[in-house]
Structure 1
Amino acid sequence: MEIKDSFDLLKFLKKQNLLENSPEFWWPNSNDFEITIGAILTQNTKWENVEKSLKNLKDLNLLSLEALIEVDIEILIKAITPSGFKNQKSHRIKLFAKNILDEFGSFENFQKNVSRAWLLSQKGIGQETADAILCYGCHQEFMVVDKYTQKLLLLFNYKFDSYEDLSAWCEYGINENLDRIYELYGYEISLNKLYCRFHGKIIEYMKQSKSKSFTRVEK
């Protein structure tokens, strides 16, 4: 099968009925702050481990900026241990929470006003994590691409030299074919929701295809 652009890829994936039982925006949690912290925790580990850490944080009432800033670091380390790199991630999450509060005053204001450049200036947040926070946590129009995306496109003989090239390829075919996508969906789906579901379809397809498991490495 020939895939000329990301619109063709979207059509291919949509035929697979991959997200029938998934949330509207795919990410397996509807709480924006939890999604944002989860995007950091999921670096270099499996989502199942992140879920355990998030449950621990929820049980300790630590899923807020103020709580993460004030909590003793040893308690935070213990809570997120299932996600791995517990010392590194705990310090980075505390600093991230403090920087959000100092810069934006609230998480809601952060959602509305944060830029990709600001996120990339934060310790431990690389391009994929930044885009995941923007797309899923802030509902902005950014497409997340990852190792699953790279692996799937290799099956169609596409290889990219950088994250930026892969992201641009995915976004371009979608933006150039929005009218056709509206026809495909039967309504004017928002670009943010479309990016969420497109990324989700890629991941679910690769998982169901029993692809090799990939994890992110960000510095």
Structure 2
Amino acid sequence: MSDSFDLLKYLKEQNLLVNHPEFWWPSQNSFEIFLGAILTQNTKWENVEKSLWNLREKNLLSLVAIKEVDLDSFILAITPSGFKNQKSVRIKKIVSNILEQFESFESFCENVSKDWLLEQKGIGLETADAILCYACNQEFMVVDKYTQKLVASFGYEFESYEDLQAWCEYGINENLDKIFKLYKYEISLNKLYCRFHGKIVEYMKIKNKQSNKGKK
């Protein structure tokens, strides 16, 4: 494998996203994606889904609703995601900052920058890119521990998140014409990044299950 384009081709042949949404992330609601990207820190996605269900039941899926709800009620709603006290305070703070800076979630999605997100308490590189890529439909490739582990298995080691991300994005950007032929249509770069990351995650989940079975 010479670059991330070769990796994409290999993963595409595995038909990993057949039963998944078009942009892979399990929710098509941008605000739920935004919350989920924060709630999923240090926990399993199944726990995040429980928190999101609680928030739906309590009608707490908007900037204003989260800002106005009392902290104890919000903590209770997101308890399944773990680190409930820390996450609740940080989410309420970023929600207030979004309302103050952008006035609406739609405006936030259209105008937010990565630098702005990284200035928010509790938002690191991976979370920022997840929000930008999946909630805001911006052209950022999310890379995570799955990505790092997979490319390492092919002999590629990177010192930083940014270096790994640059490697993933470069191979894609340099081979867009070939990718369009591969997909048989001109797939948007945002959608491509979404699906590439999704393929990596689903592939590594399968590999981990196979590995765990082999240990029994």
* TM-score normalised according to structure 2 size: 0.96
Q: State the match for 1:143 in structure 2.
A: 141
Q: State the match for 1:59 in structure 2.
A: 57
Q: State the match for 2:47 in structure 1.
A: 49
Q: State the match for 2:114 in structure 1.
A: 116
Aligned-residue offset at 1:44: 0.5
Deviations along 1:54-77, one digit per CA (max 9) or x if unpaired, are 100111000100000000100010
Q: State the match for 1:86 in structure 2.
A: 84
Aligned-residue offset at 1:150: 0.4
Aligned-residue offset at 1:37: 0.5
Q: State the match for 1:216 in structure 2.
A: none
Q: Distance in 2 between matches of 1:55 and 1:148?
A: 26
Q: State the match for 1:193 in structure 2.
A: 191
Aligned-residue offset at 1:209: 1.1
Structure 1 residues not aligned, in runs of 5+: 214-219
Q: State the match for 2:126 in structure 1.
A: 128
Q: State the match for 2:175 in structure 1.
A: 177
**1 or 2, which has the higher helix percentage?**
2
Q: State the match for 2:151 in structure 1.
A: 153
Q: State the match for 1:20 in structure 2.
A: 18
Q: Distance in 1 between matches of 2:108 and 2:131?
A: 11
Q: Secondary structure at the match of 1:210?
A: helix
Amino acid corresponding to residue 85 of structure 1 in structure 2: F
Q: Distance in 1 between matches of 2:208 and 2:87?
A: 29
Q: Structure 1 runs of 4+ off > 4 angstroms? A: none
Deviations along 1:119-161, one digit per CA (max 9) or x if unpaired, are 0000000000000000000000000000000010111011110
Q: Distance in 1 between matches of 2:80 and 2:150?
A: 28
Aligned-residue offset at 1:210: 1.8
Q: Distance in 2 between matches of 1:86 and 1:69?
A: 16
Amino acid corresponding to residue 131 of structure 1 in structure 2: D
Q: Secondary structure at the match of 1:117?
A: helix
Q: Distance in 2 between matches of 1:74 and 1:185?
A: 48
Deviations along 1:85-109, one digit per CA (max 9) or x if unpaired, are 0000000000011000000010000
Q: State the match for 2:95 in structure 1.
A: 97
Q: Does 2:184 correspond to 1:210? A: no
Q: Distance in 2 between matches of 1:4 and 1:98?
A: 45
Amino acid corresponding to residue 117 of structure 1 in structure 2: D
Amino acid corresponding to residue 127 of structure 2 in structure 1: T
Q: State the match for 1:38 in structure 2.
A: 36
Q: Distance in 2 between matches of 1:20 and 1:107?
A: 31
Q: Distance in 2 between matches of 1:209 and 1:163?
A: 22
* TM-score normalised according to structure 1 size: 0.95
Q: Secondary structure at the match of 1:61?
A: coil
Amino acid corresponding to residue 196 of structure 2 in structure 1: F
Q: CA RMSD in A?
A: 1.0
Q: Distance in 1 between matches of 2:208 and 2:95?
A: 36
Deviations along 1:142-183, one digit per CA (max 9) or x if unpaired, are 000000000101110111100000000000000000000000
